[in-house]
Amino acid sequence: MSTAKANILLIYTGGTIGMIKDFRTGVLKAFDFKTLLEKIPELHLLDCNIDTVSFEKPIDSSNMNPLYWVQIAELIEDHYEAFDGFVVLHGSDTMSYTASALSFMLENLEKPVVFTGSQLPIGDLRTDAKENLITSIQMASLQENGIAVVKEVCLYFEYKLYRANRTTKLNAEHFQAFASYNYPELAESGVHLKINNDYLYKPNLKYKLKVHKSLNENIAVIRLFPGISETLLKSIFAAPNLKAVIIETYGSGNCTTEKWFLNILQEHIARGIHVINITQCLAGRVMMGRYETSSALKNLGVISGHDMTMEAAIAKLMFLLGAGVSPTMFKSAYEMDLRGELSDQ
């Protein structure tokens, strides 16, 4: 690894990691990141220069939305030339959604963008915040011959670096809060940092960073369950300005073969509504046509989400709709691997 000092920008959006307890009142308050090096002296041991920027008003991740995604993307865009890597501090509840969205919004990314957070506040005695923060900065500053080792949007939590658009939050209680079921971790932090180079994203370095800021939120998600009604399905498809619907199906992409269900899908696909098939399972993939209960969807022209996470499926859908992809090209664009979010077919 290169010994040249990397310049890292820390972007604080909000979340537990940026909170510190007032020991007199017991109330959590926002941490002043301007005093970061003073509060966490271990950061002096890292071979990099760290600067910080915060949202004017830090938010809880439950309030995260595409407008904030654009703010994060613009902060990275504005500071892209001056910094070698970026660490985004974010609440864990919607971190996979935001990190997945940024992976699509930052086209031709050549530098690491590492999302991290914590389950306990930075001032808590048993906090996981310090380790997550320190190692995220270290991951973002890794260079080889002056070139970033990691060139994609990642998520670091509890000793593992993941491809961001492959992650999902699976536990609200444990420090190991995230998992990537359909793609191996990119790196692991132990006594040494173990980088899995074969799994790192290899971008085309011929083009400059392009930041996409147009996202279309006119989508819906329908999770199938035994007993889902025609009335419910019709009411969702009747939403004004609806552009696309993600159907969370069973197993490898299966659904009910009730005539009313398939008729509703057929009617709205014919009207130009995109329908995407994502499995409810955390691991595995959609394989339409494998069983009779998914053959009908394939014949109707339902789009396959393959092995994408729900978080990536939503972010990719908003991104492609915002990009104005033509209706005739939309299915092939959605089923194409854009940022390593789905596996080879």
User: Which residues are catalytic, by number?
Assistant: 16
Output the DSSP codes for 258-287: -HHHHHHHHHHHHTT-EEEEEESSSSS---
What DSSP state is assigned to residue 96? H
Sign of CA dihedral 125, 131, 137, 140: negative
Instruction: Round to whole Å and give the CA distance between 79 and 17.
Output: 23
Contact 113, 90 (CB under 8 A): no
3-state secondary structure at position 133: helix
Output the DSSP codes for 170-187: --SSSS--EE-TTS--SE
Q: Could you tell me where the beta strands, DSSP code E, fall in 55-111?
A: 85-89, 106-107
Dihedral of the alpha carbons of 281, 287, 290, 295, in degrees to the nearest 10: 100
Contact 337, 344 (CB under 8 A): yes
47 Cβ contact partners less than 8 Å away, ≥ 6 residues apart = 3, 5, 6, 141
Instruction: Round to whole Å and give the CA distance between 244 and 221.
Output: 9
What DSSP state is assigned to residue 214? -
Residues 224-243 as b or e (16 or more Cβ within 10 Å = b): beeeeeeeebeeebeeeebb
* CB-CB neighbours of 321 under 10 Å: 20
